[in-house]
Amino acid sequence: MVKLGPTGAIKGRLLDTDGKPMAGALVAVVYREMPAGQIHQHIHRTKQVVTDAAGSFTVDELIPELMFELAAYRGKLRFEREAITSESAIQIKPGECRDLGSIKLKPVPKKADE
């Protein structure tokens, strides 16, 4: 049996390592459970979330109660939180819209085979 309920949302502001807004960055949600990630990709396949000039973003239709993390992309560069902690993982409640505030990101070094 599948129980459907209200989805959640997050909003925030992405900053680079110098504290400047990351305008034009593609915001990605990465669920820890693969089936949730596949559902999220299917729901969001036609709408990408891109930060505005102030680095602000909103991601809606998120699956509540499941852990996820944020990543951002600008061009071919991938960015992740500057300080990875246990608080880097996000979980929201049904119907919740959580403001994550300002999030400092750092570029992820490319692997040798990329």
What is the model's pTM? 0.84
Report the pLDDT value the prediction gives residue 1, as an integer from 0 to 100. Answer: 58
The tokens 């852990």 sit on which residue?
Answer: 67
The identity of residue 103, as a single letter, is I
Report the pLDDT value the prediction gives residue 68, as an integer from 0 to 100. Answer: 92
**Cα separation, 106 vs 114, whole angstroms:** 18
Q: Encode pLDDT of 4-46 as tens digits.
A: 789 999 999 999 999 999 999 999 998 988 888 888 888 878 8
Report the pLDDT value the prediction gives residue 109, as an integer from 0 to 100. Answer: 82
Report the pLDDT value the prediction gives residue 86, as an integer from 0 to 100. Answer: 60
Q: Per CATH, the architecture of 8-106 is what?
A: Sandwich (2.60)
- Asked whether 70 and 44 are in contact (CB, 8 A), the reply is no
